[in-house]
Amino acid sequence: DPKPPLGFKPNFVLFLADDQDRILGREGYDTMGSLAAMPQLQRRLVNEGAFVEHFYVNTPICCPSRTELLTGRYFHNVGPPRMPGSCMHVDTSVASSNETGLFGLLTRVGYAVGVFGKVTNDQERVLSELVASKSVDAIDSPLN
């Protein structure tokens, strides 16, 4: 094992919550946008965690956005025209692969990886692929 630059492998937790809008639909909201309507999420994740001021998604719709985030790829590399996938036209297998998806890549370098909650709208297939590819150590997620 190569020695990590910090002398240790840092722990981290990735929370992914859909539809957190800070630009569109601001009328009636403060600078927190749609998070103003979710005080528990705002209190726990924003006030007690990190807040990214300038993070944008390439495709602001559920399955494509999640697959892009979990693979580091743009839509044209996870969806049409080359990969006509089954989840909103996205091939989610790149997210569940132990060679291209975040979960598998972290597992391959020695992290313990758990998945809790929704991964994509193609949940049952993605979870089955994560297990088959040994990309996660623990799963506690609904099938659909």
Whether 87 is catalytic: no
Q: Which of 133, 98, 18 is nearest to 64 (CA)?
A: 18
Options 32, 38, 62, 83, the catalytic residue: 62
3-state secondary structure of 139: strand
The catalytic site residues sit at 62
